[in-house]
Each structure stands twice: as structure tokens, then as C-alpha cells.
Amino acid sequence: MSFYAWAVAEFRRAGNFDSFTALSLTYFALLAQRVRCSVPGARFGTARCSGSVDCTVSGRSGISLLIPPMIRCSLLLTAALAAAIPLPSQTPSQPDWNALGDETVRVLSDYLKINTTNPPGNELQGALFLKGILESEGFEVQILDTAELGKGRGNLYARLKGDGSKKAIALVHHIDVVPSDPRYWTVDPFAGATRDGFLYGRGALDMKGDGIVHLMAMLALKRSGVSLTRDIVFIANTDEELASTGALVFVDRHADLLKDVEFLFTEGGNNPIRNGKLEYYGIGVAEKRTFWQHLTVKGTPSHGSRPTRQNPVPRLIRALHNIAMFETPLHVTPGVQKFFRDLSRNYTGERRTWLANVRAATAIPRARSWLTSDVYWNAILRNTVSLTVVNGSNKTNVIPAEATAEVDIRLLPDQNPERVLAELQRVVGDTAVKWRTLLQPKVPLENPTDTDLFRAIERAAHERDSTALVTTPMLTAATDRPTYRKLGIITYGFSPFKVPVEDNQKGVHGNDERISIENIGFGVRFLYDVLRYAQ
Ligand SMILES: [Zn+2]
């Protein structure tokens, strides 16, 4: 590569060189006498040497360069070249949105073809796929934690540099997907197939689709030369769907890579379409805490033909019955109060009044039964307890030595786990039932909304739907967000897509998971704008 070609490549790569740097690189390129006074290539126009301009030029930094007589006539070339470089003061070129949308669909289809079902995960394949794309676009990529996470696993990290004047924004997704049973799908879950305007595949919504939108929005920012004050950090994690070891190990071992990160986007937000209409843009700022319990009752094994009082099964069933009949109290957290108040705009009459002050409404029996008839609303208004796993004997004629059960408890963010457990033990009222915590709750997740990034989302959302509601629904499930929040990073659940509630219900962890082609194009442009507005 000639010195000149190198200098041009440098300009294009960095995108945010100041004029002085641009001029000096050109100056040295000219000194190397690799260029003449005409402009090579149409990209730089048709500037020619005039021979009459002054031989001193100033860059934006105010430092002057002396151009020696031998290249005096090159000034116009310098100006033309500098003009061709996307400098901060210049309007960056807009991406070709149709082409970018098509490219995003192609890349996502290829990513969906990589089977990263967890267990075993095999996320390294996915990470290497992402690495290939990033490296071909000039990124330095690190595949991390391969030894700690085990065979075929790893985390990926890359960064698009800004000028460093503000703190970074991280885009985080998980590479793994939950298992799928092809018998219940109408397409192969790993074919990356398109049909009737939809791209199908395990992970299309949870959350390879988000990951590829993160990737392509970041590439688009780089390609179009938008000047960035904030670095954009791209992270792909292993094992979110099972034990979250990817995020845990990443945060544990690489806090240094995150020390300048102010904001982080990952799953946990949604923009639901209900009855063909966008309900709201939902930014996830809080989530419930998982607090799983294991229950055991010991007994004396014997023959099923001679019933005894030492059979542990009826005793366990009595305990579970008490739990099932127990109604946890309604409790309105500040974030949930705000969510319902925002939502009240979409209602009229008494429902509007109830939603506008949901804390007061929970004391009104009719309001209460209406609010809790929606499974999502019910789940964000109280701690929930679901009886899920039950084990007694594995043979009809055998009274077992023990009976066990597992209970899925989800706590509101401000609840004390010990107090909730003590309450459930009181409800069961049987000391023969032994409780063991299977999963300790993560740190409570609550995030501020008075931030540059939140405002950037609002702006981008309102540009698309001027009357749309932008609000903060609480996630009832768990994500890796608390793991990152521990470092002080503001972590938002953000989805770039507008997804019909039926598709979410059916596809996420279910069958025929899919995302519309239109949504993919929408998503990449939406995120691109959010990241631009947050600068
Ligand atoms: Zn997920």
C-alpha cells in the first residue's frame, strides 16, 4: 500500500480525525511524492492545482502547516481530500436504509442457522460468526472467557470509538437460545428461513434479532461517519438462558472494559402491538427477582396396598394446597405506579381513573378484580408464587421415602426475600416441610429515567409515532441486567422491534419464533437514531 493510500485509509477508518490531522497526513503523503497535483479518483472530485494559493494553511486546531514550494500547487488537493473525509462538523452520509435492512435480514438469517441451543450452548460458533463480520469492518474483536466458560463457549467484546468526551453505551445480547422441538414448528428452527414476510428461527426474538440489530446499527454508524461522543460497546454473552455464567464471568473478569460505560441496552423492554395498534414503547427499568424454593417432606417407604400416616405425599400436597390458596398482597412500586399512570391515557371513564392512581384503586374491589384479571398486570402488582415441579413416588404401588416440590417465586424489586419466605412458611404451617432456596435473588433492579439515553429513545420513538406512549413496564422475568447494574451502569431493557403480543406469546420460548422483515428494517434504523441522539 502506498503512503498515500494508507493516509486515505486512515481518514476513512477513523472518521473523526480533525482537519489538522487530515492536513498533516496529506502533507506527509505529498512529501513522499506518491501523488501528483491532480486528484486520483472521482471520490475527491476534480480539483486541480492552481499554483496561486498561499502556501500556509490552517487546520481546525489553529496550528499552521508550511507547505514547501515543491508541493505548493497541492493545496486544492488537500482541501478536496479533507472535504472527502467525514469530519465532525460535516453532515455524515445517511445509510441506504433499504440496503441496510436487506443486509440485516441476510446476516440475521445466517446467525439463526447457527444452533446455539443451551444446553450445551455452543455459543463460540456464534461468537466467531460475529467476529468475522466485525473484523471485515475493521473492528478489533476479543473472544473472552473461553477457559472459564467451558468447551465451545465464550463471550465477545468489540468497541466503536467515539471522541471520548462522553461515556460509552453498551449493546448486550446473549448468543444462546432455548431448546426447540421441530415437531411443533412449521419450519426448521435453524434454517433461517423466510416465509410470507417473516424470518423464522429460534432466537429471532430472544434475542439474536436484537443482537444483529445492535451489530448493524453500530456498523451503519461507523460506515456513515457519524461523529460520536460516546463509544459504542458491543457485547455478546454466553449462557443467559440457563445460569447466566456468561455475564457473571464477564463482569467479574472484565470490569475494566466497562469502566467508562454509562448506559447499557439488553433485553427486557418491549413495544407491543395489540389489536394492530402500538400500545407503547416500553423501556425496561426494573425487573422482578427470581427466588426459587425446593420443598421436601420425608416419610417412611412402604407398600401402597396398606396406607400409612407416614406417607409424605399427602403431607406435601396439603402444604402445596395452602400455598396455592394463598393470595399474596397487592403492592404498588413507584415504577409500576408510573407505568399505570402513563397507560391511563389509553383508557376512559372509571378505568382511566383507576389506572391514574393504581395504589388507590387496589382498595376498590371492582378495580382490583379488573386489574388482576390481566396476567401481566397481576404479576407486576404483587409477589407471585407458581407451583411447578412435584415429585412423589415413581411407582403406583410404592409409598415413597420422600416427596418434593419446586416453587417459582418472583419478588417485586423492593421486597425482602427473608420476610416473604417466612410468610409462606406460616401459610404452610407444617414444620415437617423443609424449605431450601434454589436460586437466590439478584440485586434489585431499578434505573433512573431522567437520562440522555432515555430522552434519546423518546425522541426517536416520537419521530416514528408522534402520539406514542413511551413508558416503563416492569419485566416479570429475569435478565442479565442486574449483573451489569452492579457496576453502576444504567441498564435499560430495550427492544428495537414492534412485535404483536401474539407473536411474543407464541414464539418466545415457544414455537415458530419469528420476526417480520419490515420490523428488522424498522429496528436497525430505530436503534441507529437512538444511538445518534444520545451523543
Ligand atoms: Zn433472552
Q: What is the value of pTM for the model shown?
A: 0.76
CA distances from 110 to 102, 105, 203 (A): 13, 9, 12
Query: What is the chain's mean pLDDT, rounded?
Result: 87
pLDDT band at 91 (very low <50, low <70, confident <90, very high): low
Looking at this protein, which amino acid is placed at residue 447? N
pLDDT band at 88 (very low <50, low <70, confident <90, very high): very low
Rounded to the nearest angstrom, the distance between the alpha carbon of 479 and the centre of ligand 1 is 7
Rounded to the nearest angstrom, the distance between the alpha carbon of 508 and the centre of ligand 1 is 8
Rounded to the nearest angstrom, the distance between the alpha carbon of 478 and the centre of ligand 1 is 9
Identify the weakest region by mean pLDDT among 88-97, 280-289, 394-403. Answer: 88-97
Instruction: Kindly give the interhelix angle for 349-356 and 365-372, rounded to the nearest 10 degrees.
Output: 80
Here the cell at position 380 is: 407486576
Rounded to the nearest angstrom, the distance between the alpha carbon of 231 and the centre of ligand 1 is 24
Rounded to the nearest angstrom, the distance between the alpha carbon of 7 and the centre of ligand 1 is 43
Please tell me whether residue 143 adopts helix, strand or coil conformation.
strand
Q: Which of these, 163, 142, 136, 133, lies nearest to 225 by C-alpha position?
A: 163
Q: Measured between alpha carbons, how far is 319 from 433 in angstroms, rounded to an integer?
A: 8
Please tell me whether residue 214 adopts helix, strand or coil conformation.
helix
Cα 113 vs. chain centroid, distance in angstroms? Answer: 20
> Which CATH number among 3.40.630.10, 3.30.1520.10, 3.40.50.620, 3.40.640.10 corresponds to the domain 103-287+445-533?
3.40.630.10
158-208 residue pLDDT tens: 999 999 999 999 999 999 999 999 999 999 999 999 999 999 999 999 999
Q: Measured between alpha carbons, how far is 383 from 15 in angstroms, rounded to an integer?
A: 50
Cα 397 vs. chain centroid, distance in angstroms? Answer: 51
Please tell me whether residue 383 adopts helix, strand or coil conformation.
coil
Task: Give me the mean pLDDT over the 213-239 stretch.
Answer: 97
Rounded to the nearest angstrom, the distance between the alpha carbon of 266 and the centre of ligand 1 is 9
pLDDT of residue 38: 32
Is the Cβ–Cβ distance between 508 and 514 less than 8 Å? Answer: no
Position 371 pLDDT exceeds 80 = yes
Q: What separation, in Å, do the N-terminal and C-terminal C-alpha atoms of the chain show? A: 35
pLDDT of residue 240: 95
Rounded to the nearest angstrom, the distance between the alpha carbon of 238 and the centre of ligand 1 is 11
37-68 residue pLDDT tens: 333 332 322 233 333 332 233 333 333 333 44
Q: Please compute Rg for the chain using Cα positions.
A: 29
Looking at this protein, which amino acid is placed at residue 60? R
Please tell me whether residue 262 adopts helix, strand or coil conformation.
strand
Cell 404483587 -> residue: 382
Task: Give me the mean pLDDT over the 366-387 stretch.
Answer: 97
Task: Give me the mean pLDDT over the 369-380 stretch.
Answer: 96
Rounded to the nearest angstrom, the distance between the alpha carbon of 206 and the centre of ligand 1 is 4
Cell 460505560 -> residue: 261
What are phi and psi for residue 411, nearest 5 degrees? -100, 145
Rounded to the nearest angstrom, the distance between the alpha carbon of 521 and the centre of ligand 1 is 21
Task: Give me the mean pLDDT over the 258-284 stretch.
Answer: 95
Position 274 pLDDT exceeds 80 = yes
Cα 305 vs. chain centroid, distance in angstroms? Answer: 56
Rounded to the nearest angstrom, the distance between the alpha carbon of 426 and the centre of ligand 1 is 35
Q: Which fold has domain 288-328+383-442?
A: Alpha-Beta Plaits (3.30.70)
Q: Which residue has the higher pLDDT, 282 or 335?
A: 282
Q: Measured between alpha carbons, how far is 302 from 66 in angstroms, rounded to an integer?
A: 100
18-37 residue pLDDT tens: 444 444 545 444 443 333 33
Ion ligand 1, residue ranges at CB < 5 A: 206-207, 267
Identify the weakest region by mean pLDDT among 80-84, 138-142, 220-224. Answer: 80-84
Position 487 pLDDT exceeds 50 = yes
Instruction: Tell me the CB-side half-sphere exposure of residue 155, using CA atoms within 13 A.
Output: 26
504-522 residue pLDDT tens: 888 898 899 999 999 999 9
Rounded to the nearest angstrom, the distance between the alpha carbon of 414 and the centre of ligand 1 is 23
Q: Measured between alpha carbons, how far is 292 from 294 in angstroms, rounded to an integer?
A: 7
pLDDT of residue 439: 84
Rounded to the nearest angstrom, the distance between the alpha carbon of 133 and the centre of ligand 1 is 22
How many degrees, rounded to 5, is the angle at CA 336 between CA 347 and CA 171?
110
Position 378 pLDDT exceeds 80 = yes
Rounded to the nearest angstrom, the distance between the alpha carbon of 207 and the centre of ligand 1 is 5
CA distances from 371 to 91, 282, 331, 426, 473 (A): 50, 19, 12, 27, 15
Q: Which residue has the higher pLDDT, 375 or 81?
A: 375
Which helix (DSSP H) or strand (DSSP E) does residue 352 occupy?
helix 349-356
Rounded to the nearest angstrom, the distance between the alpha carbon of 241 and the centre of ligand 1 is 6
pLDDT of residue 12: 53
Please tell me whether residue 345 adopts helix, strand or coil conformation.
helix
Instruction: Tell me the CB-side half-sphere exposure of residue 254, using CA atoms within 13 A.
Output: 20
Please tell me whether residue 236 adopts helix, strand or coil conformation.
strand
409-457 residue pLDDT tens: 999 999 999 999 999 999 999 999 999 999 889 888 889 999 999 999 9
Domains of the chain by residue range:
3-84, 103-287+445-533, 288-328+383-442, 332-382
Q: Measured between alpha carbons, how far is 488 from 264 in angstroms, rounded to an integer?
A: 10
Task: Give me the mean pLDDT over the 281-299 stretch.
Answer: 96
Q: Which residue has the higher pLDDT, 27 or 276?
A: 276
296-343 residue pLDDT tens: 999 999 999 999 999 999 999 999 999 999 999 999 998 899 999 999
Q: Measured between alpha carbons, how far is 228 from 161 in angstroms, rounded to an integer?
A: 8
Q: Measured between alpha carbons, how far is 123 from 378 in angstroms, rounded to an integer?
A: 35
Instruction: Write the DSSP string, 74-135.
Output: GHHHHHHHHHHS--TTSPPPPP-HHHHHHHHHHHHHHHHTS--BTTT--HHHHHHHHHHHHH
